[in-house]
Chain A
Amino acid sequence: MIRLYDYELSGNCYKLRLLLHWLGLEYERIPVDFHPGRAHRSAFFLQHINPLGQLPVLADGDFLLRDAQACLVYLASRYDTSRQWYPDDAKTRGRITSWLASADDLTRSVAAARQHYSFALDADIPRCEALAQTTLRLMDDALAEQQASTLPWLAGTSLPSIADIACFPYAALASEARIDLRRYPALQRWIHAMRHRSGFIAMPGILDPAL
């Protein structure tokens, strides 16, 4: 049984909840009291679950894996028989990996600012805003330039890949980091397209189109 150390409001945890759902995999959600309990920083968590004190952490049998992007790669590689989420060819994997790096930049910028405003965690807001603008603009440029092609998704694929999952939550939650999504028109369209994928599930802060 797959187990996910999870927090309801974490966009990084949501990436795994989303892929697990799209892969049709059953799993157990283990709620971690991120706030106010800061359980992800407890001695037990640091020692046994993740020495970085971060969520999500994935457990598959005895296999324990930290880092949202690493977990996306693992789940797609191990369980995705359709080969949609992490296609086999070298160029696509190269592009996906560069977008996984951008997902880390979103965590450092958008997610950090969001946590600052929501949970009063320290953040260098001007620096977060600058990196957020750079990363969101990078995404908007790529999506705008690929829009007319048959490969409209982030990594230049015809269907969403883990690159799209990795970059989606914090782009969609940008308003909580006080970022104006009207400045990123192609990104708005991509967020809409993701939300309307068959089987999409939402997280708090991202509206579910299905009622």
Chain B
Amino acid sequence: MPFCTEDPNVRNDWLTIGAARALDGHTPQHPWHTRLLDNNLVAWRDAKFQPVVHADGLRLPTLEQYGYVWVFTGDGPQRPLFELPEFAESGRRIVDCGGIGVATSGLRVIENFLDMGHFPYIHTGTLGRVPHTEVAPYRTQVDATTGEIWALDCHFFQPQASASAAGGIDALYRYRVMQPFTAALYKSSPNRAQVQDVIGLFVQPLDDEHVIAHVLLVYYEEQLSDAAMIAFQHMIFGQDKPVLESQRPRRLPLQGTLEAHMRCDLTSATYRRWLRQRDLRFGVHLETTP
């Protein structure tokens, strides 16, 4: 069965299919199952413990990095996956929060991850609180070498910025978009001065309007258990999920007047312009799409 899109942005780049440890113990006779671009995938580890992934009988180039399995569905040259140097830093806790299904375009999931304006309304009492609603001006840039988007000098008042935060702080954020379906957030660690914790969001597109969103924590954290860290992250994601699923159209409009943009939506505007320049079609609301 062909993949549901020919869009080179998606086909000629790495896409995640989930946590690498999900493949452990699986064999060709009892494979692990998932879906990608409207295809059924089966996966296992070979005798050398390498991940093997097949889509409808076709073996896909595969990468295991940052604790996840990535596959390449196209014919073009395979550029390297984005870098995440914090992953290898000693003392870091690496916590995969599991994949959560969301019925919307992956582009909406990424755009929400980049947005601060919803913190006081959707993540009340943790990431934001009325009346501290103002999104102070910040800046975005596209890195000339990597082509990635960065949003810098972001800050927002947060009553409880993370699971182990003890009180309200003016949290400093940096956002990064590595691919259309991958992004990262860098926020000041409550446990160590001068360093940032990283939250990675890696979206696995099942089709134009359904995804599995994987979240990776790369934190300095000595007190809390994995379960407690995951619980906090799931609380945040669980608050976003029904809002994401309620947005219409499900696919992201990249042009036109369907949705309003204000100065506080700078990262969203930058992201949409970046996607337009790449001529992204997958997960995009085109004028002819209902």
Nearest-neighbour CB distance to chain A for B261, whole angstroms, equals 24
Nearest-neighbour CB distance to chain A for B250, whole angstroms, equals 12
Contact A175 B245 (CB under 8 A): yes
14 A-B residue contacts at CB 8 Å? A8-B231, A8-B234, A31-B230, A32-B227, A36-B19, A37-B227, A118-B100, A118-B101, A119-B100, A173-B242, A176-B241, A203-B238, A204-B241, A205-B239
CB contacts (< 8 Å) of A35 on chain B: these are: 98, 100, 230, 234
Within 8 A of A (CB), among B69-99: 96-99
Interface centre among A7, A35, A36, A178 (most CB of B within 10 A): A36
Q: Mark A110-139, 1 if CB is under 8 A from B, else 0.
A: 000000011110000000000000000000
Contact A37 B230 (CB under 8 A): yes
**A-B residue pair count with CB separations less than 8 angstroms:** 72
CB contacts (< 8 Å) of B212 on chain A: these are: 120
Contact A119 B227 (CB under 8 A): no
Contact A178 B99 (CB under 8 A): no
Nearest-neighbour CB distance to chain A for B34, whole angstroms, equals 8
Within 8 A of A (CB), among B97-155: 97-101, 103, 120-121, 124, 129-130
CB contacts (< 8 Å) of B99 on chain A: these are: 36, 120
Contact A205 B226 (CB under 8 A): no
Q: Is B228 an interface residue (CB 8 A)?
A: yes
CB contacts (< 8 Å) of B246 on chain A: these are: 175
Q: Is B225 an interface residue (CB 8 A)?
A: yes
CB contacts (< 8 Å) of A7 on chain B: these are: 231
Contact A119 B238 (CB under 8 A): no
Q: Mark A5-37, 1 if CB is under 8 A from B, else 0.
A: 001110000000000000000000001110111
Q: Mark A36-54, 1 if CB is under 8 A from B, else 0.
A: 1101000000000000000
> By the criterion of a CB under 8 Å from any partner CB, how many residues of chain A are at the interface?
24
Contact B231 A117 (CB under 8 A): no
CB contacts (< 8 Å) of B232 on chain A: these are: 8
Closest to A208 in B: B124
Closest 8 pairs between A and B when the two form their complex, measured CB to CB: A204-B238, A36-B98, A33-B227, A31-B231, A31-B227, A211-B130, A204-B239, A8-B231
Q: Select which of B101, B120, B228 is within 8 A of A117 by beta carbon.
A: B101
Nearest-neighbour CB distance to chain A for B223, whole angstroms, equals 13
Q: Select which of A8, A39, A178, A204 is within 8 A of B103 by beta carbon.
A: A178
User: Please, how many angstroms separate the alpha-carbon atoms of A165 and B212 in the complex?
Assistant: 31
User: Please, how many angstroms separate the alpha-carbon atoms of A187 and B193 in the complex?
Assistant: 50
Given contacts A32-B227, A211-B120, contact A9 B238 (CB under 8 A): yes
User: Please, how many angstroms separate the alpha-carbon atoms of A128 and B242 in the complex?
Assistant: 19
CB contacts (< 8 Å) of B130 on chain A: these are: 211
Closest to B224 in A: A31
Q: Select which of A31, A37, A176 is within 8 A of B242 by beta carbon.
A: A176
CB contacts (< 8 Å) of B103 on chain A: these are: 117, 178
Q: Mark B181-224, 1 if CB is under 8 A from A, else 0.
A: 00000000000000000000000000000001000000000000
Given contacts A175-B245, A204-B234, A204-B238, contact A31 B225 (CB under 8 A): yes
Nearest-neighbour CB distance to chain A for B146, whole angstroms, equals 30
User: Please, how many angstroms separate the alpha-carbon atoms of A211 and B237 in the complex?
Assistant: 18
Q: Is B235 an interface residue (CB 8 A)?
A: yes
Closest to A9 in B: B238
Contact A204 B124 (CB under 8 A): no
User: Please, how many angstroms separate the alpha-carbon atoms of A211 and B120 in the complex?
Assistant: 7
User: Please, how many angstroms separate the alpha-carbon atoms of A118 and B245 in the complex?
Assistant: 12
Q: Mark A168-211, 1 if CB is under 8 A from B, else 0.
A: 00000101101000000000000000000000000111001011
User: Please, how many angstroms separate the alpha-carbon atoms of A32 and B230 in the complex?
Assistant: 10
Contact B101 A8 (CB under 8 A): no
Q: Select which of B19, B226, B241 is within 8 A of A33 by beta carbon.
A: B226
Nearest-neighbour CB distance to chain B for A39, whole angstroms, equals 7
Given contacts A33-B226, A119-B100, A204-B239, contact A211 B231 (CB under 8 A): no
CB contacts (< 8 Å) of A31 on chain B: these are: 225, 227-228, 230-231
User: Please, how many angstroms separate the alpha-carbon atoms of A167 and B245 in the complex?
Assistant: 23
Q: Select which of A39, A120, A203, A211 is within 8 A of B101 by beta carbon.
A: A120
CB contacts (< 8 Å) of B124 on chain A: these are: 208, 210-211
Known: A118-B100, A120-B99, A211-B130. 11 other contacts (CB 8 A): A8-B231, A9-B235, A31-B227, A33-B227, A36-B97, A37-B230, A118-B101, A120-B101, A173-B242, A176-B245, A204-B237
Q: Select which of B121, B226, B228 is within 8 A of A211 by beta carbon.
A: B121
Contact A118 B230 (CB under 8 A): no
CB contacts (< 8 Å) of B97 on chain A: these are: 36
User: Please, how many angstroms separate the alpha-carbon atoms of A117 and B210 in the complex?
Assistant: 10
